[in-house]
Amino acid sequence: MTKPRAIHIYLHALAQLAPLDKAGFADLRQYSRYKKQQIYAQRNAHLSAFAGQPVADADIALSAYGKPFLKHRPEIAFNHSHSQKNYALALSAGMRDLGVDVEDLDRKVRFDALARHVFHPRELDRWNASGQQPEYWFKVWTAKEAVLKAAGLGIRMSLNELDTQAHPEQNGGVCSHPSLGVFAYQNFQLAHVMLTVAWRSGLSCKGFAFPEIQLLQH
C-alpha cells in the first residue's frame, strides 16, 4: 500500500528511454517527436502502475499554466522534468502540489551571469560566499524550478523574487513567497545530475514534517 506522506521519484537516462540516434531521423523535429513519445510512454507506464489502472495520454490534462494532472484521479499528484540526458518523474498519493526538476551537472552554464540575473539577492550572497560552487548553483536553480512547478506557475514569475534559502552544505529546506505560499524541497546530488523535488508544505505542532522520499534510478 502506498503511504500517504510518501513521494516516489523515478530517474531514467534518456539514452535508455530513447535509444535511436537522431542521425536516423529526417530532421530534428521528427527526432524530438520520437523522444517526446518515448518519455510520455514511460510516464504513462509509471502512472499506470502507481494508479493500479491503465493511464494513456488522453487521461492527462493541463492546468491553465500548463501543469499536468490526471483527469480521473486528481488525488494522485505528479510532475516530471527532463534535461539533455535524463528524465525524472515524481509521484505521490498524498502530497499536494508536487514539482520536480532535473539538471545535468555537466551542462554548460554561464554560472555568474545567470546567478546575477535569476538569484534572489540573499541567494547571490550565499553563492558568492560559497566560492561560486557549481553544485550550489544547481541546487538553487533546480529548487526554484521545482517550487514554481509545484505551485503551478512554471517560471511565470521572476525567478529572482523567490529566495529558496538553499544552503551550500544542506540538501533541502523550506521557502515561502506571498504569491505562492509555503513549500519544502529536497535536493539529490548524484554523480551526474542535480534533482530537486518540491511540495506544498505547512507547519504542524512539531514544525515542518518531511515526507518519506524514495528515489529509484533506472
Total domains in the fold of the chain: 1
Nearest to residue 200, comparing CAs of 171, 216, 177, 168?
177
pLDDT reported for residue 206: 53
Q: Which residues fall within 8 angstroms of residue 200, CB to CB, at 6 or more apart? A: 95, 96, 97, 150, 151, 181, 182, 183
Q: Is residue 107 part of a domain?
A: yes
Q: Is residue 1 part of a domain?
A: no
Average pLDDT, the chain: 91
What H or E segment, with its residue span, contains residue 13?
strand 6-13
CATH of residue 64's domain is 3.90.470.20
Q: Is residue 50 part of a domain?
A: yes
Q: Is residue 202 part of a domain?
A: yes
156-174 pLDDT per residue, tens: 678 899 999 999 999 999 9
CA distances from 51 to 1, 70, 186 (A): 11, 10, 24
pLDDT reported for residue 1: 45
Tell me how long the chain is. 218
Q: H-type helices in 102-187, by residue range?
A: 111-118, 121-129, 134-151
Q: Is residue 184 part of a domain?
A: yes
At residue 52, the 3 state secondary structure works out as: coil
Give the structural domain span for 46. 6-217
- β-sheet bridge partners, residue 104: 193
140-154 pLDDT per residue, tens: 999 999 999 999 875
Q: Which residues fall within 8 angstroms of residue 125, CB to CB, at 6 or more apart? A: none
Q: Is residue 96 part of a domain?
A: yes
Q: Is residue 138 part of a domain?
A: yes
- In degrees, to the nearest 5, what angle opens at C-alpha 164 toward C-alphas 145 and 135? 75
How far is it, in rounded angstroms, from Cα 21 to Cα 25? 8
88 near 194, Cβ under 8 Å? Answer: no
Which residues of the chain are under the pLDDT cut of 70? 1-4, 154-156, 203-208
pLDDT reported for residue 94: 84
152 near 163, Cβ under 8 Å? Answer: no
Q: Which residues fall within 8 angstroms of residue 122, CB to CB, at 6 or more apart? A: 163, 165
Q: Is residue 169 part of a domain?
A: yes
